[in-house]
Structure 1
Amino acid sequence: MDRKRNLLLAVLLFMGFLAGCSGNENSAQAEKTEDGKVVVDFWTFWGSETRRPIIEKIIANFNESQDDIHVKHTFLPWGDIWTKNLASVAAGNPADVIINDINTVSQRAENQQVEDLSQYIDESFEKQFYPHLWETVVYQDKTYAVPFNTDTRLLFYNKAAFKEAGLDPEAPPQTWEELEEYAKKLDVKTGNQYERIGFYPLWGSIGASSWMTNADDGKGFIENGKLAIDTPRKAEALHWLLGWKERLGEKTVQTYQAEFGSEQSNPFIAGKVAMWVDIGTFYTQIRDYGQDLEFGVAPLPSFDEDSGHWAEGGGFVAEIPKGADHPEEAMEFIKYLTGPEGQKYWAMKNFDNVANIEAAEAVASELTGDEQMVYQATVENLQQTKMFPVPVEYPDYHSRINPVVDNILLGKISPEEGLKKAESDVSKLKRE
């Protein structure tokens, strides 16, 4: 019986070995096209009617440009893509290329969830990109991603409203003091009802942290590994924000916010707010829904005459998940995706800020009219835009700061008390 059992076990093991070989062979064949091209699986969250055709055209252009690699686009919804990416890395079957958040590259590098790309990159390649974006993809002197796109905040202002208020439409406010003066002149009020509000600093694509950065000479909450949360300038910025709500009245602010909805009813486009902070792509809403709107753009007003027009930025990178099957081929595609040709096409079709300097400047020079005015302003504004990558020492610091700032703005705690508490809470998170 033992001999029969051993013989049966040997047969089963041999059959399993053959099945495994067959599976590996099929898998290897599946990773190549019929004409022998290596298939690179590229994951993105760009599935809209606008963006999907654009990224797929870039992919098609790359596929047609060479004979060795075929890129396949896999769309995954926003929110799902990064959860599935981490699961696939853990399971050992990740994508070859993925679009990921620019400010958390170091976290993934620290956790060994992304490939080191240093061997594929030289100094000439690095110089293609804006320095403040490149800094986000380097961790412990190694490169783990390549910047793809970014954004920056501008002040959009209604020129017709400026003229009506007796303000020069070619001279937007330069400082916070001027911003307040202009806003009061731009307010239009009938009785207790505002027909138009000059400005409110927390409307648009901006939050309290951006104003704190602007006030504090461009400093974020963590600078060079040191906490910079509880600072006099950041406290002053929060007092300033509270002053706007006090002047307009909380009921007015809430009533206006309740009307915010689709692009068609945007209060700036509708003429109900005279100045508005947003990213460059906000122009596309003006183009589509505010054809008669005469507007201008400017950098964010500075805290005072001696400080900078600091803005906060974000964006996305292209990276190779840890354990990807085809890193060399994946990197060839990333070089095209982030190179001048791919970046220019993306920027022109999406009216989006890209990381490649040559591409960004080419788009700024080729556009015309209002498109050129806004895009050129965003490109120039990248020089005074700060990125705030999440440091590995404080991986979850936003979750400790944001609730405190919310309570400050609700009047539940003073700016000084709140910032002191936030800095204390974040200090306890530090990983050695």
Structure 2
Amino acid sequence: MKKKLGFLALLLVITMLVVSACGSKDEGKSKDSKNASGDEQIELEFWTMQLQPTFTDYINGIIKDFEGENPNIKIKWLDVPAADLSKKILSAVTTNTAPDVVNLNPTFASQLAELDALVNMDEAVSDEDKALYVKGAWEANNINGTTFAIPWYLSTSVTLNNKAIFEEAGLDPEKPATTYEEAAEYAKIIKEKTGKYGYFPSMDLSLVLQHMVMMGADLTNEDGTKAAFNSPEGLYAFEYFTKLYQDGLIPREALTGDQRSTIDMYQAGQVAFFDGSQFIVQVKENAPDLYANTIPSQAITGKSGKKTMSVQNVVVPKQTKHQEAAVKFALFLTNGKNQLEFSKLTPILPSNVEALADPYFTEAGDDAEPTDLVRIVSASQLDSAELLVPPMKNYDELRQAMYDAISASMLGEMTPQEALDQAEQEWNDILAK
């Protein structure tokens, strides 16, 4: 959800939730009946985020299997463009027409959870079923002690390395950088020996915050009421990226561009390594020679040893008239069998531990391609991976304040300490709202 929409839209949601709570519980959109056996016939509305047409057959297959096992439940599937989903679900919640099951990311889902608009999965899901999910993925959907979603599919960061540039610089491509310190060292050598950029650490979206956490900084205090990053670790992060940028060892696009810039420069042979696991299929399609020369490796991390996990979820809005059936479908959608099948269609990881136990995620094979190695490396990192930036109130404002501060430092408009002080003050003001 864009920053301009955030405050007004959420204020509208609060108002409408109060109004709808006073209305009749029988005013929902569902029109249920009895089937021939006398069982209640239920229709659930299920929304996904931009899965058609690529995964149409897959989702329809899941729906068919679920309906076969549950003849009294019918699933009505609606796929929504990613750019429209936040607005559409906000509108549906405010008009008391929310779907029964929705695919959302943790950041946006947490904003609905703060309004008490989502079913608490700690209460709706049994301990036995909870244990079927990767611990870090389940915990990624927690705000104020409440779990608001069931994790669906995951990814962890994997570094893509251009073997040819490593060799041109006299570096061993089988020994890629795994720490921020090594990344800086390699960036200097590669720039001096080849004139190309070694490292492309993007500052886009939440990545500044992720870098800081991996370098050992705490973003807030334990109860999330005050900034905690104005520390030696936080200062190190600001000084690290400022020096790389001002010494010309990372591209200007690392600060001014988006994540598209990283893949564009990597495919053009101008960057030796970057966090790019999500782009490996694109490299294969657009630059087959470079793809053959790409070596995936463990994600670069810092003092904390942490690695980032991205999570996609399914939530059940409280407005549903059929909570039990909706949760049942969400658990079916995310079971081991269905997640394993999904993972074989696209480079993602399952959140279900039964699916992760499959050799597909542990054995590369002698003829493994870079896509296979990305999958194996990505899965191997799950034990140390987590959602580095947890759901936070006023997240967009916090993220922008940190980006503005580190930008001022990297551009030389402030010293790293002055920029960090500014970010701390702005965060404390925002957190106090």
1:82 correspondence with 2:99? no
What is the total number of aligned residue pairs between the two structures? 399
- What is residue 311 of structure 2 aligned with on the other side? 315
Which one-letter code corresponds to 1:326 in the other structure? H
1:44 correspondence with 2:42? no
Which one-letter code corresponds to 2:427 in the other structure? V
Which one-letter code corresponds to 2:95 in the other structure? A
1:60 shift after superposition: 3.2
1: CA distance, partners of 2:150 / 2:89: 17
2: CA distance, partners of 1:32 / 1:107: 38
2: CA distance, partners of 1:90 / 1:183: 50
Give the number of the structure whose alpha-carbon radius of gyration is greater: 1
1: CA distance, partners of 2:204 / 2:423: 25
Q: Which moved more, 1:343-352 or 1:173-182?
A: 173-182
- What is residue 234 of structure 1 aligned with on the other side? 234
1:338 correspondence with 2:337? no
Is the Cα–Cα contact under 8 Å of residues 209 and 399 in structure 2 kept in the other structure? no
- What is residue 208 of structure 1 aligned with on the other side? 208
Pick one of 276, 283, 286 that aligns with 2:274: 276
Change (3 A) 1:118 1:390: closer
Is the Cα–Cα contact under 8 Å of residues 104 and 389 in structure 1 kept in the other structure? no
Pick one of 270, 286, 290 that aligns with 1:289: 286
Which one-letter code corresponds to 1:349 in the other structure? L
Is the Cα–Cα contact under 8 Å of residues 157 and 276 in structure 1 kept in the other structure? yes
Change (3 A) 1:214 1:290: same
1:81 shift after superposition: 1.9
Aligned 1:271-420 pairs, distance under 5 A: 271-278=269-276, 280-292=277-289, 293-303=292-302, 307-362=303-358, 363-365=360-362, 368=365, 369-370=368-369, 371-387=371-387, 388-392=389-393, 396-420=397-421
Which one-letter code corresponds to 2:418 in the other structure? E
SS of structure 2 residue aligned to 1:187: helix
Is the Cα–Cα contact under 8 Å of residues 166 and 173 in structure 2 kept in the other structure? yes
Is the Cα–Cα contact under 8 Å of residues 213 and 311 in structure 1 kept in the other structure? no
1: CA distance, partners of 2:402 / 2:252: 23
Aligned 1:52-67 pairs, distance under 5 A: 52-67=56-71
Is the Cα–Cα contact under 8 Å of residues 176 and 301 in structure 1 kept in the other structure? yes
TM-score (norm: length of structure 1): 0.80
- What is residue 19 of structure 1 aligned with on the other side? none
- What is residue 17 of structure 1 aligned with on the other side? none
Is the Cα–Cα contact under 8 Å of residues 202 and 258 in structure 2 kept in the other structure? no
Aligned 1:19-30 pairs, distance under 5 A: 28-29=31-32
Pick one of 114, 120, 137 that aligns with 2:118: 114
SS of structure 1 residue aligned to 2:171: coil
Is the Cα–Cα contact under 8 Å of residues 156 and 296 in structure 1 kept in the other structure? yes
1: CA distance, partners of 2:265 / 2:41: 51
- What is residue 13 of structure 2 aligned with on the other side? none
1: CA distance, partners of 2:392 / 2:272: 38
2: CA distance, partners of 1:323 / 1:168: 57
SS of structure 1 residue aligned to 2:288: coil
1:341 shift after superposition: 1.4
1:174 shift after superposition: 3.2
Which one-letter code corresponds to 2:101 in the other structure? V
- What is residue 429 of structure 1 aligned with on the other side? 430
Change (3 A) 1:29 1:76: same
Change (3 A) 1:309 1:87: same
- What is residue 153 of structure 1 aligned with on the other side? 157
1:99 shift after superposition: 0.9
Change (3 A) 1:254 1:205: closer
1:290 shift after superposition: 2.9
> What does the per-residue CA deviation read over 1:64-98, in whole Å, with 9 as the maximum and x for residues that have no partner?
44322221111222232222222222322210101
Change (3 A) 1:43 1:339: same
Is the Cα–Cα contact under 8 Å of residues 122 and 147 in structure 2 kept in the other structure? yes
2: CA distance, partners of 1:254 / 1:140: 37
Is the Cα–Cα contact under 8 Å of residues 214 and 306 in structure 2 kept in the other structure? yes
2: CA distance, partners of 1:336 / 1:284: 28
Is the Cα–Cα contact under 8 Å of residues 309 and 386 in structure 2 kept in the other structure? yes
Is the Cα–Cα contact under 8 Å of residues 188 and 249 in structure 2 kept in the other structure? no
1:116 shift after superposition: 2.4
- What is residue 11 of structure 2 aligned with on the other side? none
Change (3 A) 1:374 1:222: farther
TM-score (norm: length of structure 2): 0.80
Change (3 A) 1:257 1:431: closer
- What is residue 252 of structure 2 aligned with on the other side? 253
Which one-letter code corresponds to 2:124 in the other structure? Y
> What does the per-residue CA deviation read over 1:223-261, in whole Å, with 9 as the maximum and x for residues that have no partner?
5535322122122112111222222279x6359988996
Which one-letter code corresponds to 1:209 in the other structure? L
Is the Cα–Cα contact under 8 Å of residues 177 and 186 in structure 2 kept in the other structure? yes
Which one-letter code corresponds to 2:82 in the other structure? W
SS of structure 2 residue aligned to 1:43: strand
1:30 shift after superposition: 8.1
Change (3 A) 1:254 1:283: closer
SS of structure 1 residue aligned to 2:198: coil
1: CA distance, partners of 2:348 / 2:404: 31
SS of structure 2 residue aligned to 1:404: helix
Change (3 A) 1:133 1:103: farther
2: CA distance, partners of 1:283 / 1:254: 20
SS of structure 2 residue aligned to 1:169: coil
